[in-house]
A and B are shown apart, each in its own frame.
Chain A
Amino acid sequence: MSDLVPGEPGAGGYRAAWHPGSESATVAEHVGFQYAGIGHQTGTAQAGLWLFLATELLFFGGLFLLYTVDFARHPGGTLAASRETTLWIGALNSVILLCSSGAYTYGLGLARRGDNRGLFRMVLLTGTLGTVFLLLKGYEWYDDIARHLFPGPSFVLPAADGGALFWCFYFVATGLHGIHMIVGLVLLAWIGAGVRKQRFSPAYYTPVEGVGLYWSFVDMVWITLFPCLYLVGR
């Protein structure tokens, strides 16, 4: 039978959750009662976020599997269709997203040092860059559809040899990526609001870190998508 003795502080690295210990009151209120301390909770939240990103990788992975199979089956059609993408928008968007990821990471460093004003500015910058990305994307879609690149009766390329497949993939992939960007913007707004309300400090900034992980992941999806969509046909 397992012995039940009160857990001693430091036993196996866990401390009893009902002895708040050395955390300040403002931090302790963020710690759930199932955790032994803020460090325990933060480490757990980080692990959980990476696991969530693992699910997202598998999610986009299925789409890339289809792209690979279709490219292998219809190389000519795919390359021809890729040539019709608007390269300058894709390239500019890539630069914008990379900068936004860098900006947010810098902001995260500021959060770690307690510079809330700087963090807010970086969150604002990231959000602005993200919005510009979406606006450019929206314009690009409008232009693509005007040029009859959405597969259907008025599709401009020969449909059967893989061109239509490529453009289906294009709209699905960029659409799903765009939805993830919108969710990211909402999360950024939430972080921004939290910064204004003085929720974060060097002792507790886990949500800031979490949103950063998500934003960087969405960036990673675009980094992989960019060559597949815009560069293969050149």
Chain B
Amino acid sequence: MSTTTERSLLTLQQRADSYLTDERTIWSWLLTTDHKRIALLYFASITAFFFLGGAAAAVMRLNLVTPEGLLVEHEMYNRLFTMHGVIMVWFFLVPAIPVTLGNFITPLMLGARDLAFPRVNLTSWYLFMVGGVTALTGLAAGGVDTAWTFYTPLSTGYSHGWMMLVCLGIILSGYSSIATGLNFIVTIHRLRPPGMTWYRLPLFLWSLYATSVIYVLATPVLTMAMILLMFERFFHVGLFDPALGGDPVMFQHLFWFYSHPAVYIMILPGFGVVSEVITAFSRKGIFGYKFIAWSSVSIAVISFFVWGHHMFVAGTSIYSGIAFSLLSFMVSVPSAIKVFNWLATLHKGFIRFNAPMLYILGFIGLFTIGGLTGLFVASLGTDVHLHDTYFVVAHFHYIMVGAMVSAFFAGLHYWWPKITGKMYPEIWGQIAAATIFFGFNMTFAPQFILGYLGMPRRYASYDPGYQVLNVVSSLGAAVLAVAYLMPLIYLTWSLFAGKNAPSNPWDATGLEWQTQSPPRTENFAFTPVITGPPYNYPRPEQRQHV
């Protein structure tokens, strides 16, 4: 392509003035208000948390290769799955895409120079870090054995652990989420460029908006649940104490009022990434833009109406069970609408199987499986048998890990050239995507069967009849672990030795590709004016093939 001289001139020019090189002191990073640098700070944090939570899972899966439990005693196992859940939920999945890709890409997609409240953005990172360190201290000092759901009265009265620290860490990370969500909502409302009506917004921003609505409205209720938990634990009296006439199930109501919408926090940004990647790598406009946009919003709204489906066997009334079951079936409809629209987008597309596209194709399949199995647990009769078995574990891991982590990697690879100015090695990206897909299915598909056969979750040991499937699952986990290390290695490698990236390596639409890779600190030299819809690729019939 270019000669060596030309390439190094390009290097000089690109490297000269970007947000990475503008200021190089440690304080310019720790006190930055640049959304791009904050995104990188967050990247580092959640990567660390991901591997910590993964380490806990590794020990658990290793423990489960024998029926008696190979490695750890029951009390330790309880601490492990609590640690895995707490870290993965609050310190990886809930922040994941919004704080990294969202922070980085949102102003770029809007042609803006930063988010609405940059200092709030930096504060949210510090809250996240302080919360994370606090929770980790509690988990390391002796751990918590109540599972990430902290049900009362175990958590308030009987558990011997470091609950107060972990709860405090969660409260702080909750304020971090609220700050991020507030920032995104206000930014999308107020910092759109001239001509960018709501229906010209990239779909990534619609889904980030929906995610932020949940961040802002659900998290305060979790904060209250945690505060009441801490109060009762500290004073040995509280609102959930049956001896005083209180109701432990009310804790579950407050907890799941947040935690169910929270799982939609985890998946909605993934939907946004899918819409971006699928259009870019099929070189085709999205099918059903308004349907996908409004389905994100309706998922966010309806998600607040279904929390009771986690409590069907907790002692809640049958009438409330019926209502929540019906509403839970309704919430699956918008997700299905999205899947159909994405498939229609692929039809007659000019598909390129780059790594982001492989991850997204995997997403669509794994998400469909995860979503459909959710219906089994949403229906009252089957849930009585499936609740607290490995079926539920497999269901939510198909969505949270199979779909969501794939979407995260898709977005990471898709926007990697923009963020770092380097291209990752494509062949390794494709190998990693395939290995993750294979390893993931090997780990979690057997768990559907295990759950159906009756193996309970959160048990360190099990009936010997379940061993074969458990061994398959653990082997799959080993493959998955290796597969997750691959991107860590080759993406880091690309930072030092990767090819320099042009401003639009994928030839995609979108304002973020109109600026250099990596962008300058102020993103754009002037505010763009939008005159057309997003994803305006040429129609299939008008495509010119060389």
A residues sitting closer than 8 Å to B (CB atoms) are 1-7, 11-14, 16-18, 32-36, 40, 43-44, 47-48, 51-52, 54-56, 58-63, 65-66, 69-70, 73-74, 77, 150-152, 159-162, 164-165, 168-169, 172, 176
Q: Which of B114, B186, B527 has the most CB of A within 10 A?
A: B527
Contact of B527 among A1, A14, A66, A73 (CB under 8 A): A14
A-B CB contact pairs (8 Å), 25 listed: A1-B532, A1-B536, A3-B531, A7-B527, A11-B194, A12-B193, A12-B194, A12-B529, A13-B194, A34-B112, A48-B183, A51-B182, A52-B178, A52-B182, A55-B178, A58-B220, A59-B224, A62-B224, A62-B254, A151-B235, A152-B235, A152-B237, A165-B239, A168-B239, A168-B244
B residues sitting closer than 8 Å to A (CB atoms) are 107, 112-118, 178, 182-183, 185-186, 189-191, 193-195, 216-221, 223-225, 227-228, 231, 235-239, 241, 243-247, 250, 253-254, 257, 509, 511, 514, 522, 526-532, 536
User: CA–CA, A14 to B253, complex, Å?
Assistant: 45
User: CA–CA, A3 to B194, complex, Å?
Assistant: 11
Q: How far is the CB of B50 from chain A (nearest CB, A)?
A: 27
Q: A34-B114, A59-B221, A165-B246 are in contact. Are A2 and B511 (CB under 8 A)?
A: yes
> Quick one: closest A residue to B537, CB to CB?
A1
Write out the residue numbers on chain A whose beta carbons fall within 8 Å of the beta carbon of B225: 62
Write out the residue numbers on chain B whose beta carbons fall within 8 Å of the beta carbon of A4: 514, 526, 528-529
Write out the residue numbers on chain B whose beta carbons fall within 8 Å of the beta carbon of A2: 195, 511, 514, 528-532
Contact of A164 among B216, B237, B254 (CB under 8 A): B237
Q: How far is the CB of B545 from chain A (nearest CB, A)?
A: 20
Q: Which of A17, A51, A65, A160 has the most CB of B within 10 A?
A: A51
Write out the residue numbers on chain B whose beta carbons fall within 8 Å of the beta carbon of A59: 220-221, 223-224
User: CA–CA, A145 to B409, complex, Å?
Assistant: 55
Q: How far is the CB of A58 from chain B (nearest CB, A)?
A: 4
Q: Are B245 and A162 in contact, with the CB atoms below 8 A?
A: yes
Q: Are B216 and A77 in contact, with the CB atoms below 8 A?
A: no
Q: Are A11 and B244 in contact, with the CB atoms below 8 A?
A: no
Q: Are A7 and B194 in contact, with the CB atoms below 8 A?
A: yes
> Quick one: closest A residue to B179, CB to CB?
A52
Write out the residue numbers on chain B whose beta carbons fall within 8 Å of the beta carbon of A77: 245
Q: How far is the CB of B128 from chain A (nearest CB, A)?
A: 17
Contact of B113 among A3, A17, A69 (CB under 8 A): A17
User: CA–CA, A3 to B514, complex, Å?
Assistant: 10
Write out the residue numbers on chain A whose beta carbons fall within 8 Å of the beta carbon of B254: 62, 65-66
Contact of A172 among B112, B228, B245, B253 (CB under 8 A): B228
Write out the residue numbers on chain A whose beta carbons fall within 8 Å of the beta carbon of B194: 7, 11-14
Q: How far is the CB of A141 from chain B (nearest CB, A)?
A: 14
Q: Are A164 and B244 in contact, with the CB atoms below 8 A?
A: yes
Q: Are A69 and B244 in contact, with the CB atoms below 8 A?
A: no
Write out the residue numbers on chain A whose beta carbons fall within 8 Å of the beta carbon of B536: 1
Q: Are A40 and B190 in contact, with the CB atoms below 8 A?
A: yes
User: CA–CA, A60 to B228, complex, Å?
Assistant: 12
Write out the residue numbers on chain A whose beta carbons fall within 8 Å of the beta carbon of B530: 2
Q: How far is the CB of B69 from chain A (nearest CB, A)?
A: 38
Write out the residue numbers on chain B whose beta carbons fall within 8 Å of the beta carbon of A151: 235, 237, 244
Q: Are A54 and B246 in contact, with the CB atoms below 8 A?
A: no
